[in-house]
Chain A
């Protein structure tokens, strides 16, 4: 029997039964599985894994009344179908257009489940590309559904109630309530070093997230910021002011710019993009940091 046919029959059997079915019952009801026990087990395990990967909510429960306990399976119709969105054709078309214009890395959008592409292929040039991965999807889903999450970040386990995921200047940021620090925090999603674990319901109300657009690499970090003064050549100063979103019309001699720095590495990296056209003046430890970094390379 064709694998596709077997998977469809397996799903139909699990949806059709209003009770938990054991693997043996499924084998008898569906047909198409190998006779030998070991071969059947292998095929059945693969089938279960395939169904899960497709997003089919396969439950594993003990078969009631069996002694010793026997593992059984079921799919609840309510969990299988979820909510009917009832999208109008123009709404579906708008979503389809959005997924055509903005390319997200990897994965399916599930648009076909909502009724597919309305008028076949959309003739629209892609204008944007946004990185995307499974951790990010899990965080967005948790923020939408007000669930707390656990993950590892900077080598520390965090418990966070996510508020908002923002894509800004090429990076995804998570803003939310850090339960352990009992304070609002901002995290770079690409620096989360573990899968996202779903915890209980969020308890804190959604606050006003810090806008990562206003943050620079050197401003991200814990602790109090240090004021660092930098001398920048005039032609570079115009660009620097432009970059910082300030009036770039000021010209003149070398200009001195102040930065509030929380992340020394991020700041050093930024200042070095100006090569010999910028010089860290003070405090001394920041100046020394640049000098020793360069001496190691000279």
Chain B
């Protein structure tokens, strides 16, 4: 279940478990395990071997916590010091607020402020907001991705109904608008972009599409024939794509945020060396021209032209002659 918890992680949990059990006037062990993500053997050991000995000077029976486990039911008494849970830290509050607001409105598409389903979340965020400050409800806004209003809803509906769709897609690497039949497998957001993970009939394989590059979606009425492989839906670059290793100056570190990297190391001079799959030569040319002197190609496997960058630069310059 869990890797071994540190003393701090166990303490954080106990400071939440103790007031909760006290307020419930007892609780089943298994429920504590599930609620607080506390491995059962560790929980039992900590309750009977640690909490049982916690108290204040002079550590007489009336100045110590009483713990009793019988029939898998936990009772905790005389834990006055820990009768209330520890306050949320500003960081924890900010994280909860952010996660909650990620699901509200915007282009998430499944929860709108008027939805009945959104109501518990809105109530929770209102209560959380009261604890965080008067301006909490306006303090954070999250857009998981950007896509034209007419794109995401049909993709979601095709996904939930298991329907093939006909999409027009701007292929980034190949400079063209393509048309293809795809079978949606999953829609997800990463770093501010929506992605469609789908089986593509044109490529005869699974592909990841950026939703903001989809120009149009048409439902076909045909059911899907493929299921998602167990790749988890994150980036699975083509196994036979060439791999490039780039050395980046500090001001080019944004590359690791915007593109999927397969490895990130730091060289002795403190510069990043990143490994990436090269989906198309055009993609690498664009990246290198944008980065200019801030990046250098360490290696490409299998090798591409050593003059790849300078050739691309000359090609663009031709336009300016």
Contacts and interface: CB of A to CB of B under 8 A. Distances in A.
B312 interface: yes
Q: Interface on chain B toward A: helix, strand, loop, or mixed SS?
A: helix
Nearest to B293: A296
Nearest to B291: A269
Interface stretch (A84-92, A221-229, A255-263): A84-92
B34 interface: yes
Interface residues of B, number: 104
Interface string B32-55: 001111000000001001110111
Interface stretch (A66-74, A152-160, A177-185, A271-279): A271-279
A24 B213 CA distance: 66
A275 to B, nearest CB: 6
Contacts of A35: none
Tell which of B139, B289, B318 has the most Cβ of chain A within 10 Å: B139
A148 interface: no
Contacts of B192: 167-171
A206 B134 CA distance: 11
Contacts of A116: 16, 20, 35-37
Contact of A279 (B135, B138, B319): B319
Given A93-B120, A94-B121, A295-B317, A99 B310 contact: no
A119 to B, nearest CB: 8
A272 B289 contact: yes
B258 to A, nearest CB: 7
A99 B92 CA distance: 11
Contact of B91 (A130, A134, A167): A134
B304 interface: no
A64 B183 CA distance: 73
Interface residues of A, number: 115
B94 A81 contact: no
Contacts of B271: none
Interface stretch (B95-103, B199-207, B236-244): B95-103
B320 A168 contact: no
B135 A113 contact: no
A133 to B, nearest CB: 9
Nearest to B14: A8
A120 B35 contact: yes
B244 to A, nearest CB: 16
B142 A167 contact: yes
B90 interface: yes
Tell which of B7, B37, B124, B148 has the most Cβ of chain A within 10 Å: B124
Interface in B53-107: 53-57, 59, 81-82, 84-100, 102-103
B230 interface: no
Q: Interface on chain A toward B: helix, strand, loop, or mixed SS?
A: helix
Nearest to A115: B20
25 contacts: A4-B14, A5-B54, A8-B51, A9-B55, A15-B82, A55-B88, A80-B84, A95-B121, A109-B95, A110-B89, A110-B95, A110-B96, A113-B86, A115-B35, A116-B35, A116-B37, A141-B91, A167-B102, A239-B177, A272-B286, A275-B316, A277-B175, A279-B319, A296-B292, A298-B314
A146 B93 contact: no
A294 interface: yes
B264 interface: no
Contacts of B103: 97-98, 101-102
B11 interface: yes
A94 B132 contact: no
Contacts of A4: 7, 10-11, 14, 46, 50
Given A128-B102, A128-B189, A140-B140, A297 B292 contact: yes
B135 A206 contact: yes
B150 interface: no
Nearest to B321: A291
Interface string A106-128: 01111111111111110001111
Contacts of A9: 54-56
